[in-house]
Amino acid sequence: MPLVTTKEMFEKAYEGGYAIGAFNVNNMEIVQGITEAAAENNSAVILQVSKGARAYANHEYLMKLVEAAIANYPDLPIALHLDHGPDFETCKACIDGGFTSVMIDGSSLPFEENIALSKKVVDYAHAHGVVVEAELGTLAGIEDDVVVEEGNASYTKPEEVEEFVRRTGCDSLAIAIGTSHGAYKFKPGTNPELRFDVLEEVSKRLPGFPIVLHGASSVPQEFVDTINEYGGAMPGAIGVPEDQLRKAAKSAVCKINIDSDIRLAITASIRQYMAEHPDHFDPRQYLKPARQAVKDMVAHKIVNVLGSNDSI
């Protein structure tokens, strides 16, 4: 089937009490690992591309990789989404270039400016059959080249969401409830707790409306340990506990974004492989297990965290 939007995926996920995984793609092995896991577990999937991914791999290469995945898995519903669209022009380029979903990230702008920018993207996207994710509230962490210090992050204000969604016409809303981007989300020794009270208040005000969680990698400690054991240095890397993500997936949260866990899976695999095979130099030898590590991680998320297995 051709690329789909997230509309039907989110309707089914909301009804079914699960979430769709949105995984960032940057190269062939990542696209293959994710889509193989989704197809084997009968789960719809969102492949998302950041501004940085477009700069790294080039729009055309990424489109062709996704087209190849569609050809390999003709029954798998795949949405192609722009992650953290920074401006109207980038969103327009992705809409014109074949994406079925875009995010306009106006979360760092004042409320009225965020509304104006998001609405401009929605108007253009909807005229072209594309859906739009907007964001209200600010996550901490690193996304593309923007670093938001913990002190400058702010939870979404539930009293703002109805007006924001009504005036922008967006199709889904990313909110800030304590997740953050990157591999260092919480201080070692603290107890990571998402603000489920904020999530509940938002979903009460927007019945039936799909909510999105960014910064939702769980930073599996086995990856961190492997990286540290084989020459890496990632002390204190901590993610969102999986049981909290599972709880979120059962609520109005219909899309959960995962990128750092992909990076960790690949890095752990390659570091271990290199250490154990110092004489190997064929990239296929170490990229093959790295691709398998992505697939295994995504399959684990689909079954144990998102709950989206056997939903197509």
Single out the residue of 258, 270, 294, 306 in contact with ligand 13P (rule: CB under 6 A). Answer: 258
CB 47 within 8 A of CB 66: yes
Single out the residue of 105, 135, 143, 171 in contact with ligand G3H (rule: CB under 6 A). Answer: 143
Beta bridge partners of 140: 180
Single out the residue of 181, 255, 271, 301 in contact with ligand G3H (rule: CB under 6 A). Answer: 181
Does residue 52 belong to the site contacting ligand G3H (CB under 6 A)? yes
Q: Cα–Cα distance between 158 and 126 in angstroms, integer?
A: 25
Closer residue to ligand G3H (CB): 30 or 39: 30
Q: How many residues bind ligand 13P (CB under 6 A)?
A: 14
What is the maximal distance between C-alpha atoms in the chain? 61
Smallest gap, in angstroms, from Cβ of residue 84 to ligand 13P?
6
Single out the segment in contact with ligand 13P by CB under 6 A; choices: 35-43, 147-155, 257-265, 286-294.
257-265
DSSP strand E in 36-145: where? 45-50, 78-85, 101-104, 131-136, 141-143
* Catalytic-residue membership of 83: yes
End-to-end Cα spacing for the chain: 13
Residue position matching structure tokens 């922008």? 168
Residue position matching structure tokens 């669209």? 85
Single out the segment in contact with ligand G3H by CB under 6 A; choices: 35-43, 50-58, 74-82, 268-276.
50-58
Single out the residue of 26, 41, 168, 260 in contact with ligand 13P (rule: CB under 6 A). Answer: 260
Does residue 300 belong to the site contacting ligand G3H (CB under 6 A)? no
Partner that binds at residue 53, options ligand 13P, ligand G3H, Zn ion, none, CB closer than 5 to 8 Å by kind: ligand G3H
Does residue 50 belong to the site contacting ligand G3H (CB under 6 A)? yes
Closer residue to Zn ion (CB): 214 or 300: 214
Helix or strand or coil: residue 97? coil
Q: Cα–Cα distance between 34 and 23 in angstroms, integer?
A: 7
Single out the residue of 21, 158, 178, 182 in contact with ligand 13P (rule: CB under 6 A). Answer: 182
Type and span of the H or E element at 78: strand 78-85
Closer residue to Zn ion (CB): 214 or 301: 214
Nearest to 103 by CA among 179, 191, 24, 202: 24
Q: Cα–Cα distance between 48 and 26 in angstroms, integer?
A: 9
Distance of CA 63 to the CA centre of its chain: 18
Q: Give the footprint of Zn ion on this chain (CB under 5 A).
A: 214
Q: Cα–Cα distance between 310 and 135 in angstroms, integer?
A: 29
Q: Cα–Cα distance between 31 and 176 in angstroms, integer?
A: 27
Does residue 244 belong to the site contacting ligand 13P (CB under 6 A)? no
Does residue 215 belong to the site contacting ligand 13P (CB under 6 A)? yes
Does residue 53 belong to the site contacting ligand G3H (CB under 6 A)? yes
Nearest to 251 by CA among 9, 23, 13: 13
Catalytic residue among 83, 105, 171, 259, which? 83
Closer residue to ligand 13P (CB): 24 or 107: 24
20-49 residues near ligand G3H, rule: CB under 6 A? 24
Type and span of the H or E element at 21: strand 20-24
CB 212 within 8 A of CB 133: yes
Where does this chain bind ligand 13P (CB under 6 A)?
24, 83-84, 181-182, 214-217, 257-261
Q: Which residues are catalytic, by number? A: 83
Where does this chain bind ligand G3H (CB under 6 A)?
24, 50, 52-53, 83-84, 143-144, 181, 259
